[in-house]
Chain A
């Protein structure tokens, strides 16, 4: 009993760390042997799977949203469809984890013990995260300028139709709305949450969703930390602590990551900046291209990129260009990068 308690406590201390675990140490090296899956792509960590799950939720919400928009189905039908799809996703996810349990968690067993300093840093990090969750829960700094998500969700629930009335007035549209905007799925996702739970849209959109997005953001940053400091748990803990402090510090102005996450975390741009982009940077450093495509697709479903390609693809292109330049210019390449490139035979 005592032993299991100690194990649970250790698991809690190292949770942000374990999320990025699986086989990153190996994937940072040459991609050979057991590190490569059947299609030649390097293995994902458990944290990666969690974020892929989040993106899958966005994808399923998009499907049910488009069903409502183009097939003119009622909002109740869309919420039901989303519930069925999410159940299927949950079953698939649990099945996948059950089958690949050993693969995913194999290395956790041989993990070095968490040092006292790390525990202290994680404790401070946890306190800051809790304070941020309380801040969001209090709802004293909600920023809704230029945003009508709550009104949109209210109009979906009231009319039981998607975009049949102008959310600003509740009157039918006279001229319509931009089609690129019409296909964004977050209002349907939030509306479905309201439908299932019976909670008011303002509570779900302005408090519950931003809390979930904030936690998702820390998951992304923890994966990035694991990529940047694969060998040093103390630095990873310090990195996460500094990220949490920087989010507090950056809560002074619209457009800064901290502000977006703490004051308007339900918006697509907050999900992009807090969850997708840190993960994308980590994927770029690990050269996991499929995940990058997933990020770009998710951005297209939640952010009004107008008719442009969005930020995720631009960042991925920039990171790839920087990587190529670093590889070409003597003295710019990391030791690890040169070794990997050398193995592939593209750098002499």
Chain B
């Protein structure tokens, strides 16, 4: 319960900090309670106020999180508050009242309306992190291209793939026929809730080794990581084959001695596949 309470109070700080849509809702509720003369739809007003208060106060927020059986994040208790509907309703009442006072005079009515719209727009993040989105999309395109080439070249094979994380991230989405040594749930723990299956230590070690092996194609990697990666190379390749892997994909830039050792350990020949090299058992 203490953990839930802490979670509820900390997540509220994060929730209101990243954008101001909740602040806008609270402002609308204040306007509705104190400034609006004709209070219609009071049941909606009362319910929204109570529900928002329950989501903000840590004790009630923790109880609501218990109601959704602790699986869902703090954000989801806000599903109980009709944020968009009530904010839009309150703003409509405000604008209608303002235009009524302005008696249809554009010069009096328009500035306040535009100011309100500006304030609304600043409650969001005005497009978000475009660079991060572009990077994600580039990674996705690359993964789709590599998986496409893989599926096309060995279209008749039942491929069990081991590849860098950025390829495995989209591999099953791009082609459902591919099997993987481990999937996206290795680095996205929320996905583990969808199955009782878990990964053993071997799969986790293999994932770590793959991250190092990918780094070996870079200009620099920490010396200690490089040593451990090279020391365990044969062992990890054997583990991969034991897990059913018949296609190992690595960046084309890996050192040639490493490539030779993998070929020998796996008993496979290396083949070029775009910017990658594939070690296949078929």
| A interface with B by C-beta (< 8 Å) | 139-141, 145-148, 150-151, 154-155, 157-158, 166-171, 173-178, 181, 201-202, 221, 224, 228-229, 232, 234-235, 238-239, 242-243, 245-258, 269, 272-273, 277-278, 281, 284-285, 304-308, 311, 314-315, 318-319, 321-323, 325-326, 332-334, 336-337
Q: Which label, helix, strand, loop or mixed, suits the secondary structure of the B interface?
A: helix
Shortest Cβ distance from B93 into chain A, in angstroms? 8
Q: Which label, helix, strand, loop or mixed, suits the secondary structure of the A interface?
A: helix
* B172 lies within 8 A of A175 (CB): no
Residues of chain B contacted by A151 (CB below 8 angstroms): 172-173, 176, 183-184
* B191 lies within 8 A of A326 (CB): no
| B interface with A by C-beta (< 8 Å) | 15, 18-19, 21, 39-44, 46-47, 50-51, 67-69, 71, 73, 75-76, 78-80, 82-85, 87-89, 91-92, 95-96, 117, 120-121, 123-125, 128, 133-134, 137, 172-185, 188, 190-191, 193-198, 244
Most buried by A among B46, B67, B128, B173: B173
23 contacts between A and B (CB under 8 A): A140-B134, A141-B128, A145-B190, A148-B185, A151-B184, A154-B175, A155-B172, A168-B183, A169-B172, A171-B180, A177-B194, A201-B173, A235-B96, A238-B96, A249-B124, A250-B19, A250-B83, A252-B124, A252-B125, A277-B79, A278-B85, A319-B44, A319-B47
* A146 lies within 8 A of B188 (CB): yes
* B79 lies within 8 A of A273 (CB): yes
* B91 lies within 8 A of A242 (CB): yes
* B21 lies within 8 A of A256 (CB): yes
Distance in angstroms between the alpha carbons of A228 and B43 in the assembled complex? 12
Distance in angstroms between the alpha carbons of A206 and B125 in the assembled complex? 23
**Residue in A146, A177, A332 whose CB lies within 8 Å of B195:** A177
Shortest Cβ distance from B114 into chain A, in angstroms? 13
* A239 lies within 8 A of B124 (CB): no
Question: Which A-chain residue is minimally distant from B89 (CB atoms)?
Answer: A228
* A148 lies within 8 A of B194 (CB): yes
Distance in angstroms between the alpha carbons of A28 and B64 in the assembled complex? 33
* A285 lies within 8 A of B73 (CB): no
